[in-house]
Amino acid sequence: MEATLSPQSLGKPGIASDLRALWAVVRREWTIFTRYPSWIIALFIWPLIFPMMYILTARALSGIDGSGLQVFLQNTGAQDYIGYIIVGTTVWMWQNIVLWDVGFALRNEQMRGTLESNWLSPTWRFAYLLGHTGPQLVSMSLFILITAIEFGLLFGVRLHGSAGLALLVMLASIPAVYGLGFAFASIVITAKEAHTFVFLVRGLVMIFCGITFPVSLLPGWMQTIANWLPQTYMIHAMRAAAFSNASLTDLWPDLRALLLFGAFWLTLGYVLFRMMERRARQTGSIGQY
């Protein structure tokens, strides 16, 4: 056999290279996201549709003179029933979209056939999941901003609290919301199907977390379950930050709970990802669709 020198690989491993790979995943996801025109509907139409269902129901139930709304405001301590509903429905939509987007990120790649080619590279594999989160966070922030603008313009909803504290609540919620998404992504790759789980989680959030009513209205055992769901704290803290004059001290118990939930879900998400990665090497499930 003719002796020929083997080519030398151009790859230079290291943390900087892994970070650049992570950024490449973010850029790839954002580029693909903007190439589907449906993002316009997702960003401009969907924020209006879901809350409208509850707002119109509230109006229908408030009586001819609207007195029912006063009772609602007394029960909830809110100043604006539309703002109250928007916070709950937006948190629900945020978690719902994350479960579909991040939760199915790897599964969608698996079905397209690209997951295997990503998996064959020497990049830190969690970057593929983490990279999906970047564009998702940007689009979700736009979603929340557009919700605020649309309801401000169409229904005269105004912020009565602090935008900075509302943003802080959002930031504190990110680990829990996305940690749950990471855990889902790993389960979906193994189970190949997780629609039922998504329906279950969003159903739990809808019923137990008080998206359109105060949790205190629930029976005791339901309140106990609500206390174990981070979305309960997100909704409570966001309403307090955006529509009352709550201070950071007032918000701290909710923020602390959110950070603890975040630590738990992020850790669980990462552990499940590593378990899935290991199982995939034993079963070859990465290439199966």
CB closer to other proteins, 135 vs 161: 135
Closest distance between other proteins and the C-beta of residue 69, in Å?
47
Closest distance between other proteins and the C-beta of residue 42, in Å?
16
CB closer to other proteins, 7 vs 164: 7
Residue numbers at the binding site for other proteins (CB under 8 A): 1-14, 17-18, 20-21, 23-24, 27-28, 31-32, 35-36, 112-114, 116-123, 280-284, 286-287
CB closer to other proteins, 9 vs 74: 9
Closest distance between other proteins and the C-beta of residue 20, in Å?
5
CB closer to other proteins, 31 vs 70: 31
Closest distance between other proteins and the C-beta of residue 6, in Å?
4
Closest distance between other proteins and the C-beta of residue 137, in Å?
20
Closest distance between other proteins and the C-beta of residue 125, in Å?
10
* Closest among 189, 228, 202 to 94, alpha carbons compared: 202
* Closest among 244, 116, 266, 65 to 180, alpha carbons compared: 266
Is 204:128 a contact under the CB 8 Å cutoff? Answer: no
CB closer to other proteins, 4 vs 249: 4
CA distance readout (Å), 15 to 12, 126, 274: 10, 13, 19
CB closer to other proteins, 120 vs 153: 120
CB closer to other proteins, 27 vs 158: 27
Residues listed for the chain: 289
Name the one residue in this structure whose structure tokens are 């009586």.
Answer: 63
CA distance readout (Å), 54 to 41, 60, 168, 257: 20, 10, 26, 28
Closest distance between other proteins and the C-beta of residue 117, in Å?
4
